[in-house]
Structure 1
């Protein structure tokens, strides 16, 4: 199990009580992630339905970018508090984007509905990703979050940020080493 704290992008102006933490652990044939937010009283959660949905990053959204170590191609996952999700493949940094077909959908559960009490902060989103949705071999990942406050302001959170504007696709954001999940 790995627990990482995300930091806001320097240009972001998050409310001072907001903090974001991600727990990643191997689970069965994939990974389980818990995105947890402190300062939830200021978190805006809009109604975007459930299932596969585009443009989730426009509001509160939790993300995971993952690629095989040494590769330039990567996969992006987006998860919304409404249980909506998205998945995209890229051939290289922000190029060759496509939305691949899936046999196994990620499991997304809003912590307010699951009844599970967050261990950090006041809000949690729980996600499971089957190994069939992940690259094969040693991986490097970028867990990220877009946090929208009730006043409409947004902050952008990652383990590391490149210079310039927020850009979760940038190789500098891929800062979490992952071992391949093992079969259960």
Structure 2
């Protein structure tokens, strides 16, 4: 199993961002991926959509507070974008190359994940079977990101690293976590 801790940073040059910390861990065991995010701090200033009784696959989740991660296969331009809203809504997109050929990933009809919200924290936990899209023999490169929207409507972009002049989670050289092939 490859277990890694992470901490996200706001895009450099962001003049005003909420007083929060975003951290977590990611692991690959067999071909199951687990990821856990913790948003800690003054979350009352964060715009968080209330939990949905029936979470849905939705477009544009990144326009609000949204936890995201990107998975690419090493030595391939193809990658996937996973969007997890604190309300339970979700989506997965497949790309052929940098921002090219975007399609909903049809291999998944649901994306069950757990959301726990308390006075000073939001926690997201996902356990994902990668067999539907990636074989165990493929090494993975991962980017972990979050979009935070405040109650005032300000949006900030958080990631492991920011490699571009603008916040751009799709830049492949920002997929800096490596999850080796499982033999």
Q: Does 1:46 pair with 2:57?
A: no
Partner of 1:98: 103
Contact 2:107 2:133 in 1 (8 A): no
Q: CA deviation at 1:11?
A: 3.6
Contact 1:60 1:80 in 2 (8 A): yes
Q: Distance in 2 between matches of 1:99 and 1:109?
A: 22
Partner of 1:66: 71
TM-score (norm 1): 0.85
Q: Say which of 14, 33, 36 aligns to 2:35.
A: 33
Written as runs of structure 1 = structure 2, the 5 A alignment for 1:6-155 is 6-12=8-14, 13-15=16-18, 17-26=19-28, 29-39=31-41, 40-47=43-50, 49=52, 50-103=55-108, 105-112=110-117, 122-136=121-135, 137-155=138-156
Q: CA deviation at 1:111?
A: 1.2
Q: CA deviation at 1:110?
A: 1.0
Q: Distance in 2 between matches of 1:181 and 1:80?
A: 29
The change in CA–CA distance for 1:45 and 1:150 in structure 2 (over 3 A counts) is: same
TM-score (norm 2): 0.86
The alignment yields a C-alpha RMSD, in angstroms, of: 2.1
Contact 2:164 2:171 in 1 (8 A): no
Q: CA deviation at 1:27?
A: 5.0
The change in CA–CA distance for 1:27 and 1:151 in structure 2 (over 3 A counts) is: farther
- Count of residues in Structure 1 that have an aligned counterpart in Structure 2: 174
* Structure 1 unaligned residues grouped into runs of 5+: none
Q: Does 1:162 pair with 2:163?
A: yes
Q: Distance in 1 between matches of 2:71 and 2:160?
A: 14
The change in CA–CA distance for 1:45 and 1:27 in structure 2 (over 3 A counts) is: farther
